[in-house]
Structures are given as structure tokens and as C-alpha cells.
Amino acid sequence: MPASNRLKNQHLLWRAAFGPMAENAASLDTLSQKELWKLLVKTSGQAPEKLNVSQQLIDLYFSGNDGMSRKDLTREQRKEIQDMSRDALKNLNLRWLDLFINSEAQLREKMSLFWHGHFACRVNNSYFQQELLQVIRENALGNFKDLLMAVSKSAAMLQFLNNQQNRKQHPNENFAREVMELFTMGRGNYTENDIKEAARAFTGWGFNPTGEFVFRRNQHDFGNKTVFGRTGNFEGYEIIDLLVEQKQTAVFITRKIYRYFVNELADESRVSWLADRFYQSGYNIKKLLEDIFTSTWFYDEKNIGTRIKSPVELLAGIRRLLPMQLENDQSQLLFERALGQVLFFPPNVAGWPGGKNWIDSSSLMLRLRVPQILSANEMMDIRPKADDDVQMGQMMETGIKRMKEAVKGGTATINWVPVNAIFEKVAREKLLEAITATVLQTKGKVSTAVLDRYANTASRENYIKSCIINLMSTPEYQLC
């Protein structure tokens, strides 16, 4: 039995966005996939407004023309700046998560989340992180070479990959290695000598105290370098040119996008076709996505309901279908930590591994409780995963305790009016079927007998509420 029009549209919204929103869920029965794709492109067409969370930090730290160096600061000033930066990073996290839930530019924010994991960067300077996020959001649907260049020149990435210490006669290979291995070509498609020579080309690339890119000529190696069989007095710009000239870069990026948006089991013939077109387009990201999302094979049964939602996708998806007012926004940070995905704190330079790595016995149990915690005003009694990499000292146990205390008894007030409106034309005997088709993407459905047994039948509204929450509390809802 072929997928219904609704299921295909929800598939597109879960993959190219963060799931259907209550206000427009009813229209998914009739809208075509091409119409929905055009709408996603149109609503993501404008340049993104900057998320500025670090103004207070800038005013304090960058008060002079050239900023203040760390050695000029007193111990008290350093602690004040660290505290401000930590709070600003939490704020940046919450504001971006809010865009996942509420922004019309769903395609841009979803693609930005992909690039956030691809160009994984973990620094505690909230201003640097804020600027890198803006670079990613501005270029998320544009040209990959432009995005790569801008990310490579960002203070956050240069600091994270130690290129500030990369200077002639003492090259630091970290930046050059990760640019090849993780950002462009993938492991095994270059030599160790390519890395050594490319590192020499990136000598002198750094940033000043205000986070602006600086090329330090006196630290740059102006000698000839040989990279990918080409010899010249290369600088960093030319290495990036050489990287995007390699067809393997188009293949590597395309395969990663395919595995993220279509299916973890990549169809190599499709990847090859897509990569050819991506390369020939000059690395036009939006055209690559259009090739994927307007194809017929994207909507094949094997690609629907087979991807495990990341923690932030799970949280955003619940909140899009169930409009809610949180008593304390910061409770979402505790969910992120407990489920293993704190924005701006990837586990390492390779980003979040995704897939089945999102699920273990403890995180699955918590995932199944999230809808009930939010809807039933349960006391937040959850513990974060004991993962030192994700923890990164960002939230110590005292912080978790403080957050739990701040949440208190109630967590969310859900506006059920637009949710009930999705099903207002559905006959009572068809109601459970319609609710299931709206909430779940999986082929295997939850037993209707089980759902009915636990449903609240006091009224039509209560029945809808209880069925949705129960369906969201199933293993099937973890898939999209």
C-alpha cells in the first residue's frame, strides 16, 4: 500500500523541517509535496536575523578599540566573563531551539542544525559561538565553498582547531587535518604529506581579541607547498580552492547529507548522481536539497519512519504539534543534557554520531517520558547522561539541582485548541486512526486496542489529548 499524501508531507516536514505544526497539520491531506517544498524554500528565503546574546560581554570585554587580552584581566574579571559567557551560551541555545519550534524559516534552521553538527565546534566563548552560528545560518542554503571559507576564517573554529598556534617552522596540523578529514574529503582520500603541506599554507591564519579574522604575514610560511600533486606558494584560500576542486569533496558532502536527510543506508548510485549535480552546480546547497526533496524516491516506503530523531528534533517536534508555554525555558537544557545533545557542546570535532547512538536503555526510557512530563506537569526528576564530553563542565550537578528547583511542579501549559482543530472534521469512529496517522511516521502502528484501553473517554477533547500523549510516549514516535 503506497504512502498517503499526508504521510509523504509529514515525511518532508520531519526531514526538511522539525515536524508538522498544529496550525497547518490539517492541510497536509491535500497539499502536494512540490507545493510544500516551494513553501519551505520561500519561507527560508530571507537573510536570518542575528541571535545576539553576547552584547553585555562585548561591552565589557571589547570596550577598547582592540579588545582586552586575557593577561590584562584580573582573576575577578576573568571569572565574571566566564560566568557571563556561560549564561549567554545557554541563552543562545534556547533562542535557537525556539527558532526550531516557531520560525517560519524551517528549512534554513534544519539545514543550519546539520551544518552545526558537520562543522562541530566547542569553545566556551559565547561571542565566538554566536558569530559562527550566524555564518552557518547565513550560508546554510547557499554555496558550500562560501560556507567552508567563512567557517574556516571564524574565530571559533580557528580557536577550537588550534590554528592560532599554527606558524612558520612550527606548523600545527590540527586545522588542516580536520578540514580534509571531516569538513571536505573524508578519511583516506588524501595523504599525510597533503596535511603537512596544507598546514603550512594555513600558517598565520588567526583572529584578534574581538574575533575578527587576521592574516599574520610574519607567521606565514611563504615557501612552495605540494598538495594533491599541485605545487605553488599556496595560502589558506588556495587550499580551500583545491579542496572544492576535488570531486571527492562533493561525494563526501552529498553522502553525509543523504544519510542525514534520506536514509542512513546510503544508496550509492543515488549519491553518485546527486554528487555529480552538486559538483556541476558549483556546490549549490539549495539545488542539492531540491534534487533530494522533489524526487519520487525520497518518498519510498524504505525511507519513511526509519530515522531516529535527535534529542532537539524530538523536543522541537513535540512542541510544534503541541503549542505550549513553558513555566521555565531552561528546563529544556536539562532535557538536552539528559538525552545527550546540548547545542554548542558537541562530544568532539566529529560532531554527534547520530542514528542508534541516540538510544540506549536509559535515554529511551526518558524519551518515552518526555511527553508525559510536559503534559502532566510532572516534577522533573531526570538525571543527565554521565558523559564527560557532552558535560564539558557546562552544567555541574549544582547547576542541575538549581534548574530542577527552578522548574518546580509545573512544566508546561499546552494550548489544545489548534490541536483539536486538526481533527474537527473527523468522525468519532475514525478519530484514533486519524490521530495515529498524524503523530506516527512508522509502518508498524501501535495496537488500537491498547490505545483505547488507556485513552480518556470522558470527552472528545480528552480522548484526543490522551491518545496523542500516549502515542508520543511510544518507541514508534522516536522515528521519523
Quick: pLDDT tens for 452-478.
888 999 999 999 999 999 999 999 999
HEC readout, the chain: CCCCHHHHHHHHHHHHCCCCCHHHHHHHHCCCHHHHHHHHHHHCCCCCCCCCCCHHHHHHHCCCCCCCCHHHCCHHHHHHHHHHHHHHHHHHHHHHHHHHHHCCCHHHHHHHHHHHHHCCCCCCCHHHHHHHHHHHHHHCCCEHHHHHHHHHCCHHHHHHCCHHHCECCECCCHHHHHHHHHHHCCCCCCCHHHHHHHHHHCCCEEECCCCCEEECHHHCCCCCEEECCEEECCCHHHHHHHHHHCHHHHHHHHHHHHHHHCCCCCCHHHHHHHHHHHHHCCCEHHHHHHHHHCCCHHHCHHHCCCCECCHHHHHHHHHHHCCEEECCCCHHHHHHHHHCCCCCCCCCCCCCCCHHHHCCHHHHHHHHHHHHHHHCCCCCCCCCCCCHHHHCCCCCHHHHHHHHHHHCCCCEEECCHHHHHHCCCCCHHHHHHHHHHHHCCCCCCCCHHHHHHHCCCCCHHHHHHHHHHHHHCCHHHHEC
Split at pLDDT 50, 70, 90, the class of 70 is: low
pTM for the whole structure: 0.93
CA 299, CA 11: separation in Å to the nearest integer?
8
Read off the pLDDT of each residue in 111-139 and give the average, rounded to a whole number: 97
CB atoms inside a 10 Å sphere around CB 437: 17
65-69, 104-108, 329-333, 403-407: the lowest-pLDDT one: 403-407
Quick: pLDDT tens for 216-273.
999 999 999 999 999 999 999 999 999 999 999 999 999 999 999 999 999 999 999 9
Read off the pLDDT of each residue in 43-71 and give the average, rounded to a whole number: 77
Percent of the chain scoring above 70 in pLDDT: 90
Quick: pLDDT tens for 309-326.
999 999 999 999 999 999
Q: Does residue 398 carry a pLDDT above 50?
A: no
CA 340, CA 347: separation in Å to the nearest integer?
9
pLDDT score for 390: 46
Quick: pLDDT tens for 432-452.
999 999 999 998 888 888 888
**CB-CB contact of 374 with 407 (8 Å):** no
Quick: pLDDT tens for 6-18.
999 999 999 999 9
* Mean of all residue pLDDT scores within the chain: 91
Quick: pLDDT tens for 400-428.
444 344 444 457 899 999 999 999 999 99
Q: Does residue 131 carry a pLDDT above 60?
A: yes
Split at pLDDT 50, 70, 90, the class of 19 is: very high
pLDDT score for 379: 39
Split at pLDDT 50, 70, 90, the class of 43 is: very high
pLDDT score for 257: 98
Q: Does residue 65 carry a pLDDT above 70?
A: no
The domain spans of the chain are 5-43+247-303, 311-478
Q: Does residue 341 carry a pLDDT above 90?
A: yes
Split at pLDDT 50, 70, 90, the class of 80 is: confident
